[in-house]
Amino acid sequence: MTTRRPIVAMSWAMRQNRSADAVAFAEQLVQLLQEHQAIEQVVFSSMGTMAAVASVLKGSVIGLGAQNIAPFVVGEYSGEYSIESLVDVGGTYVELGHWERRSLFGETDE
């Protein structure tokens, strides 16, 4: 049986909202964490900075994820983020069911 590496994820929420700030922060993380491969590392950047952050993380040990994802493949769902968009920028993780979505927007398991 194989065991999965421990995972540490960082959700930026809406704290890094400008691409320049998000890129600078991601570059620092890559430098600081490049030697720590025993732990799976993931960054959940804000949607608006995801493409810029993805370019910094590409080829590093840090994975990229979306803070939320639409439950629909395609359609008229303004403001939602699609799984296709995430995959297109190189993201492979999604953060679902976190407390902000539950407490502020009334989301549930359903």
Write down the mean pLDDT value for the chain: 91
pTM: 0.85
pLDDT, one tens digit per residue, over 41-93 is 999 999 999 999 999 999 999 999 999 998 888 899 898 899 999 999 999 99
Cite the DSSP H helix spans in 34-82: 50-57
Per-residue pLDDT at 10 = 93
Report the CATH fold assignment for 7-105.
Answer: TIM Barrel (3.20.20)
**Residue 2 reports pLDDT greater than 80:** no
Per-residue pLDDT at 56 = 97
Domain coordinates of the chain in residue numbers?
A: 7-105
How far, in Å, CA of 39 to CA of 53, rounded? 20
Secondary structure element (H or E) that encloses residue 93, with its range: strand 93-94
